[in-house]
Amino acid sequence: MTEIREIPIVARGRIIRPEGEDSELFYGRGGAQFRSPDPHRHIHDLVLGNPVLLSDLMETPTSQIIEFLVEVGKRLRLEDNAFFQESFELGLLAGGLSEPILRSVYERLPAMFDGAVLSERVEQTIGSAYLDGWVPRENLEGRHRIRAVGTRQLHITAGNVPVVAATTIIGGALTKSDILIKSPSNDPLTASAIARTMIELDASHPVTRHIAVAYWKGGDEAMEQQIVRTTRIDKITAWGGMSSVKHIQKFLQPGLDLIAHNPKFSVSLIGAEALESEAAMNEAATGIAVMSGLMNQTACVNTRLVYVECGEDEDSLAKVEDLGRRIAAAYGTLPAFFSTPADALNLELEAELKSAAMEEDFYTVIGNTVEGGVVISRFPDRVDFYEQLNNRMVNLVPVADLFDAIKWCDDTTQNVGIYPESMRDRVIAPFALAGVQQFVPLSGGDPAGVYQEFNTNPAGLPHDGIEPMRRSVRWVIDHRPARGQTTMTAIAAE
Amino acid sequence: MAQAVTATGIALDPAHPEFWPELGFDALYAMSWRDCLEPQTEALCLRFQQMNGLLPALDKLASKEAVTRIDGIEDALPLMFDHRVFKNYPLSLIETRNIPKLHAWLGRLTTHDLSGMDLEGLPTIEAWLDRLDEFGMLVTTSSGTTGKLSFIPRSQIEYPAWERSYMLALHASLGVDPYVDKVETFSPSYRGGHQTALKVPMMFNTLAAGGVEHYHTLYQTHMSADLMSLAGRMQAAEDRGELDRLGLDPALLSARQEMIALARRRPQDLADWFKALFEGCRGKRVKISGLGGDLLRTALDGSAKGVKPSFAPGSIAFYGGGLKGFKHDLPDWEAYVCEFFGIEKLGTCYGMSEVISQSPRCSHGNYHIMPMIVPVLFDAEMKPLPREGKQTGRFGFFDLLAQTYWGGFISGDEVTIHWEEDCGCGWKQPFVGPTISRYADKDGGDDKITCAGTAKAYDDFLAFVSEG
């Protein structure tokens, strides 16, 4: 029998457990079942009706918030945090990551709470001075002072990697904001586990007092209508595009700022030089394998399409096939902490691959959805099912000119892997205009090294083409009178 | 080879399933599927033998699955074509009008040798399909949710059994023999073209009506295959202000504008058309054939305006396509439609472009499968479900009427099949019902959210104009 897990509501320093009639059963993925308090009874626990109640957080210096988060981070260890252990267990059941990968993701979560990292995230974006006080403009005698003021935020988070839960909580604290997190069914507990760890540490801390976490079924109109109101929410951060925003769309109105992290996928651009020598081919293959294989291709950063600069003649296509075989082989060399074979075949994708393989004039398929592999287009177009590419399966598409790939890039294109480096400066500008968000290197040739390079992003970089931290606060101006005027008023008053 | 004789003494000749429809639906439905299984199996094995080596797509699948001969239905299960097979060509072939490659691709799906067909002077897909018809093929197209066209490679060889079985389904679901009793037919649809939903009525509704002049449609035009398959790309190009750069036939661009205009005024045209029909056919016996949603919309509009037909007794209606999301709050919309139109019988069938023999609905609301189809249900792991009791799963079948292409097919439909023949309507054979859902519609029921993927571009244009 399936065990029914309890998912409490975390409401501003309090934990509300399902009890008696105040209880609702939800069915998650992978057969997971969980019981939560009836969220409809707790609207007022979840939202902050009066924004002025944020003054406690506003008055807490950023340095103290960072100190608190650092303490929280120290307690987020899988080995001795019972909340984390439970969340990890449920994440394995309900999410899409294999055990070694999910474990390594959890093991790296505390590093997100490192003091220097947190400080960099604030200083490189908003700047703590703007959060802690009014910062005068230098011109006009500093009469205009600006402050970044916290907001009330609803976060509809993605659950494919628990990192999203952690970064949401950190972002909320660092922007001195009140956050309500609607947990996803594929990661129902990570945010809750972090919030409960905070309560254990200090239930009365202003940061703890401004975090609420709950699960309700996306599209529950009675819920969303109550929550998504300008009187209760200032900003909505929605991951997952239409599927998550289509329900709340009807409640959107001027005054509610929607920060949409639309679903994205990533691509790679492989220059002709990659096919010219064995060494280059191996280096490119390793880079592609890492970029598509990390977290088993469940995330937006994974390359699914690989545009290769070459002709459509047999010789060129044979070289692309050679590259494809090397990519398939490289999957086998990836360390288990970031990439593993899949537990089972992906039947839908297998069916696509099977029918593609039937048309050998058009496609060549190497590998499968357990070990990973490639599907090679033998003409310059993507496969129809490119959105379904998963389980470490990429589509290699020959293009006569890399700029031909621009037409397939838009705001849904997140990262663009580049190989070799020599062509980077020549190609990136038009792709940036087309809508892509980040160019990343594929060179190095050593899987762990390439992976390491992917993980060296400093804190506080833009994300999805915007600066979410700066976007999450309200920028308020305090316009004071000129000095002379102040004096005159003072005299008149006397 | 000896003919298999069923318990009721009727012979199903396994060498010629294409003649089975000649027996009539009464006889076919008097038989139990259990008695048909032997001739069906034998017919299936024969089909495989006949096609083996002549059908590259099947040969490829058979060699991949290491199947060299089949002695029973189970042996043939790995050889069922996925729904992708009939649209397994790169869309760029259509965009670039690469007819030779498309033609070669289609050639691998049929036992006919298409290499002899002249491909000169074919500017569009539509022109290619026209020429295929002249060559002896009867290819029909259908578009799924992605807008990509499937090409069903039927030919004149299938035509006689196709016609027979279609008429049989009409007869069984309406109680009127279309060969004998010709009824003036009205269909609020487009006319002609190669789209299954238009080409099949043009072939057979005209016959049932007593000639093309007795088959009346709302519009005398249709949407070309090119337009249907390129709608998405054309919209994207137009959004970029680069429609002219696609290098399309100017006629195609103006056809697109016409279709958009037509679709905009369709509700009004539909109302006017029915009004004229009601006035012109007062006291006459008619058959109305169309989408369920159009019939209901007309009935609701008419009732609100006080416009009501008064056809002669014995008028009938046949619908397909369900309501397609048409919202209403009627407890029994079909009864409402019958009442409004003053018709005695509203017939319908369960079928799809990929199957020849349609399954008519019986008096108890179930869809009975005729023995020209060997149905198979699959569970989520694509394991066949047992042929007993009541089973729900993915619908697959072997269409024994497919003589020049492979009739093994796995659909995207989830259905319930009742194997005990306990419908109560008097007909035997396995029946499907009452609800049928598409697996594609089930996506999105899951509340998981990820950052990966793209929002599926919803193609308004296609939804807009393909309704007819």
Q: Is residue A460 part of a domain?
A: no
Please check whether residue A223 is in contact with residue A37, taking contact to mean a CB–CB distance below 8 angstroms: no
Please check whether residue A202 is in contact with residue A68, taking contact to mean a CB–CB distance below 8 angstroms: yes
Can you list the residues of chain A whose pLDDT is less than 70?
1-2, 28-30, 241-245, 484-494
Query: How many folded domains does chain A comprise?
Result: 2
Q: Residue B90 and residue A239: Cβ atoms within 8 Å?
A: no
- Chain B residue set in contact with A, beta carbons under 8 Å: 57, 60-61, 64, 82, 84-85, 88-92, 101, 104-105, 146, 148, 381-382, 444, 446-456
Please check whether residue A173 is in contact with residue A63, taking contact to mean a CB–CB distance below 8 angstroms: no
In this predicted structure, what is the pLDDT of residue B468? Answer: 32
What the block records as the tokens of A162 is 């628990």
A73 and A167 housed in the same domain: yes
Least confident span in A155-164, B24-33, B127-136, B350-359:
A155-164
CATH number of the domain within which A77 lies: 3.40.605.10
Most confident of A363-372, B6-15, B147-156, B197-206: A363-372
Q: Is residue A237 part of a domain?
A: yes
Average pLDDT of span B267-276: 90
Least confident span in A199-208, B287-296, B321-330, B433-442:
B433-442
Residues of A in contact with B91 (CB under 8 A): 381, 384
Q: Is residue A216 part of a domain?
A: yes
Instruction: Give, as one character, the DSSP assignment of residue B66.
Output: T
User: In 3-state terms, what secondary structure has residue B144?
Assistant: coil
Q: Residue B85 and residue A160: Cβ atoms within 8 Å?
A: no
Report how far apart, in Å, the C-alpha atoms of A418 and of each of A431, B157, B206, B292, B348 are: 12, 54, 60, 53, 56
Which residues, at least 6 apart from B431, have a Cβ–Cβ distance to it below 8 Å?
Answer: B359, B362, B366, B367, B368, B369, B417, B418, B421, B423
Average pLDDT of span B130-156: 89
Q: Is residue A167 part of a domain?
A: yes
Residue type, A316: S
Least confident span in B326-340, B412-426, B453-467:
B453-467
Residues of A in contact with B453 (CB under 8 A): 241, 263-265, 300, 387
A254 and A340 housed in the same domain: no
Residues of A in contact with B88 (CB under 8 A): 355-356, 358-359
pLDDT digits (tens, 9 = 90+) for B197-253: 889 999 999 999 999 999 999 999 887 888 888 877 787 778 878 888 777 878 888
A242 and A291 housed in the same domain: no
User: In 3-state terms, what secondary structure has residue B344?
Assistant: coil
d(CA B140, CA B142): 7
d(CA A248, CA A243): 10
**HEC per residue, chain A:** CCCEEECCEEECCEEECCECCECEEEECHHHCEEEECCHHHHHHHHCCCCHHHHHHHHCCCHHHHHHHHHHHHHCCCCCCCHHHHHHHHHHHHHCCCCHHHHHHHHHHHHHHHCHHHHHHHHHCCCCHHHHHCCEECCCHHHCEEEEEECCEEEEECCCCCCHHHHHHHHHHHHCCCEEEEECCCCCCCHHHHHHHHHHHHHCCCCCHHHEEEECCCCCCHHHHHHHCCCCCCCEEEEECHHHHHHHHHHHCCCCCEEEEECCEEEEEEECHHHHCCHHHHHHHHHHHHHHHHHHHHCCCCCEEEEEEECCCCHHHHHHHHHHHHHHHHHHCCCCCCCCCCCCCCCHHHHHHHHHHHHCCCCEEEEEECCCEEEEEECCCCCCCCHHHCCCCEEEEEEECCHHHHHHHCCCCEEEEEEECHHHHHHHHHHHHHHCCCEEEECCCCCHHHHHHHHCCCCCCCCECCECHHHHHCEEEEEECCCHHHHHHHHHHHC
Give the strand pairing for A413-419 and A393-399: unpaired
A367 CA: distance to closest CA in chain B (Å):
15
Q: Is residue A459 part of a domain?
A: no
Q: Residue A300 and residue B452: Cβ atoms within 8 Å?
A: yes
The pLDDT-based confidence of B184 (bands split at 50, 70, 90) is: very high
Q: Residue B452 and residue A184: Cβ atoms within 8 Å?
A: no
Residues of B in contact with A297 (CB under 8 A): 452
How many beta carbons lie within 10 A of that of residue A323, not counting itself? 25
A247 and A275 housed in the same domain: no
Question: Quick one: which of B119, B115, B144 has its CA closest to B130?
Answer: B119
Q: Residue B455 and residue A359: Cβ atoms within 8 Å?
A: no
Q: Residue A240 and residue B447: Cβ atoms within 8 Å?
A: no
Q: Which domain holds residue A212?
A: 4-262+467-477
Name the residue in chain A with its Cα closest to that of B92. Answer: A381
Residues of B in contact with A184 (CB under 8 A): 447-449
Give the strand pairing for A363-368 and A372-377: antiparallel
Q: Where are the domains of chain B?
A: 4-157+352-465
What the block records as the tokens of B20 is 């089975």
In this predicted structure, what is the pLDDT of residue B460? Answer: 40
A171 and A141 housed in the same domain: yes
Comparison of pLDDT for B59 and B434, the residue scoring more: B59
Residues of A in contact with B82 (CB under 8 A): 351, 354-355
A257 and A269 housed in the same domain: no
Q: Is residue A485 part of a domain?
A: no
Residues of B in contact with A263 (CB under 8 A): 450-455
A60 CA: distance to closest CA in chain B (Å):
33
Q: Residue B455 and residue A158: Cβ atoms within 8 Å?
A: no
pLDDT above 70 covers what percent of chain B? 90
A364 and A431 housed in the same domain: yes
A88 and A232 housed in the same domain: yes
Name the residue in chain B with its Cα closest to that of A303. Answer: B452
Q: Residue A381 and residue B61: Cβ atoms within 8 Å?
A: no
A324 CA: distance to closest CA in chain B (Å):
20
**HEC per residue, A230-273:** CCCCCEEEEECHHHHHHHHHHHCCCCCEEEEECCEEEEEEECHH
- Whether residue B465 is predicted with pLDDT greater than 50 in this model: the reply is no
Question: Hey, CA dihedral for B439, B444, B450, B451, is it positive or negative?
Answer: positive
Residues of B in contact with A243 (CB under 8 A): 444, 449, 455
d(CA A239, CA B333): 40
Q: Residue A299 and residue B104: Cβ atoms within 8 Å?
A: no
Name the residue in chain B with its Cα closest to that of A239. Answer: B451
Pick A185's closest partner by Cβ from B148, B447, B452.
B447
A276 and A417 housed in the same domain: yes
Burial class from Cβ neighbours inside 10 Å (0-12, 13-18, 19+) for residue A103 reads middle
How many beta carbons lie within 10 A of that of residue B141, not counting itself? 24
Q: Is residue A60 part of a domain?
A: yes
In this predicted structure, what is the pLDDT of residue B2? Answer: 43
Residues of A in contact with B382 (CB under 8 A): 347
What the block records as the tokens of B368 is 């009975």
d(CA B288, CA B188): 8
CATH number of the domain within which A408 lies: 3.40.309.10
Pick B449's closest partner by Cβ from A158, A352, A355.
A158
A222 and A344 housed in the same domain: no
A371 CA: distance to closest CA in chain B (Å):
19
Q: Is residue A234 part of a domain?
A: yes
Which residues, at least 6 apart from A114, have a Cβ–Cβ distance to it below 8 Å?
Answer: A70, A73
A43 and A154 housed in the same domain: yes
A278 and A187 housed in the same domain: no
B394 CA: distance to closest CA in chain A (Å):
13
Residues found in chain A: 494
In this predicted structure, what is the pLDDT of residue B326? Answer: 77
ipTM > 0.90 for the complex: no
CA A58 to chain centre: 26
The pLDDT-based confidence of B444 (bands split at 50, 70, 90) is: very low
Q: Residue B449 and residue A218: Cβ atoms within 8 Å?
A: yes
In this predicted structure, what is the pLDDT of residue B458? Answer: 30
In this predicted structure, what is the pLDDT of residue A487? Answer: 54
User: What pairs with residue A149 in β-bridges?
Assistant: A474
A177 CA: distance to closest CA in chain B (Å):
23
Residue type, A201: L
pLDDT above 90 covers what percent of chain B? 59
A351 CA: distance to closest CA in chain B (Å):
8
Q: Residue B452 and residue A299: Cβ atoms within 8 Å?
A: yes
**Inter-chain CB pairs, A–B, below 8 Å:** 118
Burial class from Cβ neighbours inside 10 Å (0-12, 13-18, 19+) for residue A366 reads buried
Burial class from Cβ neighbours inside 10 Å (0-12, 13-18, 19+) for residue B192 reads middle
Q: What is the dihedral of CA B224, B226, B227, B228, to 10 degrees?
A: 90
- Whether residue B446 is predicted with pLDDT greater than 50 in this model: the reply is no
Residue type, A376: I
Question: Quick one: which of B60, B162, B45 has its CA closest to B108?
Answer: B60
What the block records as the tokens of A177 is 């904001």
Average pLDDT of span B97-122: 94
B130 CA: distance to closest CA in chain A (Å):
25
d(CA B76, CA B74): 5
Q: Residue B454 and residue A244: Cβ atoms within 8 Å?
A: no
pTM of the model: 0.83
